[in-house]
Amino acid sequence: MMQSFSATQYIGKRLRLSGYLKSDSVTSWGGLWMRIDDAHQTRNGYPASVGFDNMHDGIKDRSIKGTTGWQNYSVVLDVPEGATGISIGFLLDGPGTIWLSNSKVEVVGNDVPVTGRAPNSPPPDGPTNLSLTQ
């Protein structure tokens, strides 16, 4: 499930998609997702993604698996200058069921950490989380 809308009023802001999800017998993974696009940049004729988080493919796998009760989840991305579109939704990869309730999109402050990153963003300057605590 997804929807898309203009990025115009969110340029230069940090945006959070949140909602309560529960799952039943998810054999692969599922979760919330958000993508920020820039139609001025293209890849294969489509607007370039300049921000993305699906709770699975990224710095840390936070995806929903198995059977869970209602829990609050969120994805947070910055909307950079030049962004033209924002797409949001929730997804399920493989068999199982996921329910979503009380979802919302809101502007948050820089004190709320970003959960995704720009595709093809450069790697960190050096090693991180060597103690494997995060």
Helix (H) or strand (E) holding 37: strand 14-43
Do 53 and 75 touch, CB atoms closer than 8 A?
yes
- Residue 133 is assigned to a structural domain of this protein: no
Query: Where residue 44 sits, what CATH number does that domain have?
Result: 2.60.120.260
Does residue 42 have a pLDDT over 90? Answer: no
Containing structural domain, residue 73: 2-108
Does residue 125 have a pLDDT over 70? Answer: no
User: pLDDT of 60-77, one tens digit each?
Assistant: 899 999 999 999 999 999
Domain count along the chain: 1
d(CA 36, CA 52): 6
- Residue 49 is assigned to a structural domain of this protein: yes
